[in-house]
Amino acid sequence: MVKVEIVEDKEGHASPYASPSSSRTSSTESLSSISSELSADETFYDRLTALVDIIPPTARHNITSKVSKTASFVKKTGKVIGNVVWIVTTSALLVGLPLALSLEDEAKIVAQEKELMAQQQGAQHVGLIPFSPLTNTYPVTDLHPP
């Protein structure tokens, strides 16, 4: 555990960090008034640029190189993903769409053939028109006697 102790200056010489009043509360009040005055005059960008001097040059170089490498990686990855998406969508449109349309047409033709077969089988059961499914023809008969 750390023990904090306030040491009073007994010699009486003026320190550049000492406040004009000896009261501890007035020193915190004066600090808060100073910070509010600075915040009114400075912008966020000014404060951010002032932090550059705090960070050592090697650390700044490491940070900027990592940020630039990450940005470059994200840019390249985005470009590759965009190209893949473009290839997939154009392939789907050029190959898949005509294939889907032809499959749909084939399904319609099969459905029509089934419907025609059902109609022909219904007609055979009624006995109106004899039909031979093996030869797929109707026999020619004279329905009216001479």
Q: What is the pTM of this model?
A: 0.41
- pLDDT at residue 85, rounded to an integer: 97
In sequence order, which residues have a C-beta less than 8 Å from that of residue 19 and are 6 or more positions away? 26, 27, 30
Mean of the per-residue pLDDT values for the chain? 78
pLDDT at 76 over 90: yes
pLDDT at 24 over 70: no
Q: What is the mean pLDDT of residues 84-92?
A: 95
Q: What is the mean pLDDT of residues 67-76?
A: 98
| Percentage of residues of the chain with pLDDT beyond 90 | 38
Q: What is the mean pLDDT of residues 12-41?
A: 54
- pLDDT at residue 138, rounded to an integer: 58
Instruction: Identify which has the larger pLDDT, 130 or 86.
Output: 86
